[in-house]
Amino acid sequence: MSLTVEKLNDDTTFLFSFAPSFAPKSTTRKLPGAFTILIDPWLGGETYILHPVFQLASHTSECAIKSLAELKDHPDVIIISQEKPDHCHRETLCSLPKTTRTRILATPAAAKTIRSWKHFHPETLHVMAPYYPDKPGVVTRVRLEPYTSSSSAGEITIANIVTKYDMTRLHNAIGITYRPPGSLLSAVGGETN
């Protein structure tokens, strides 16, 4: 597997690009099994929590890009890890078209904030429930199509791992796994491995 991490600002905005290990380093097209995840995009403007009088933040250095439109391709998934405006930035997110094919995964509070903007179609936004190992259905699974009819599908998994007793709701982790599509090998006698 190949993973490229691009830092898009000096805060929390990162673009993860996953690709199968045999993928060429540069190509003009998206390869089967490739997948991109953008985390907490904030690309310009100021943010504040509660009111600008209490706390006003802006970037101290220039972001790598000024808008999501500058990305070569829209990411497959955008993850919003919390509702604070330096993670859930309205101007940046709403630079995506209302009909975007990008899937937005957000923590419950962030999803509530994004819904209040009334910008995206309801099927674009998905809530990442807190992960508990004994609770089914709390991991987002994205199937990666197989290369051919004789290969196996891959998968991306994403989980919202919360911290117990965190009243500020500032401390959580996002777990991501990537399994590229692979080959199915036939053994003698028709069995598959």
**Torsion angle defined by CA atoms of residues 159, 163, 165 and 168, in that order, rounded to the nearest 10 degrees:** -90
Q: Higher model confidence: residue 179 or residue 169?
A: 179
The mean pLDDT of 159-169, rounded to a whole number, is 79
Asked if residue 93 has pLDDT above 60, the reply is yes
Report how far residue 146's alpha carbon sits from residue 118's, in angstroms, rounded to the nearest whole number.
Answer: 35
- The answer to whether 146 touches 153, Cβ cutoff 8 Å, is yes
Rg of the chain (C-alpha set): 19
Q: What is the pLDDT of residue 18?
A: 93
Mean pLDDT, all residues of the chain: 84
Of the pLDDT bands very low, low, confident and very high (cuts 50, 70, 90), residue 86 is confident
Q: Band the pLDDT of 5: cuts 50, 70, 90.
A: very high
Residue 86 is encoded by which pair of tokens? 């330096």
Tokens for 171?
Answer: 């401390």
pLDDT tens digits, one per residue of 94-141: 999 999 999 999 999 999 999 999 999 999 999 999 999 899 989 999
In the predicted structure, residue 57 carries a pLDDT above the cut 80: no
Mean pLDDT value across residues 21-36: 75
For the chain, domains (ranges, CATH) are 2-183 (3.60.15)
Q: Which of 32-41, 53-62, 182-191 has the highest mean pLDDT?
A: 32-41
- Cα torsion angle, 65, 69, 71, 72, sign: negative
Between residues 93 and 193, the one the model is more confident about: 93
- Amino acid 155: pLDDT: 95
- Cβ atoms < 10 Å from Cβ of 88: 26
> What mean pLDDT do residues 139-150 have?
90
pLDDT at 55: 62
What are the tokens at 38? 């953008």
The residue among 6, 31, 16, 49 whose CA lies nearest residue 170 is: 49
Question: Which residues, 6+ apart, have CB-to-CB distance to 26 below 8 Å?
Answer: none
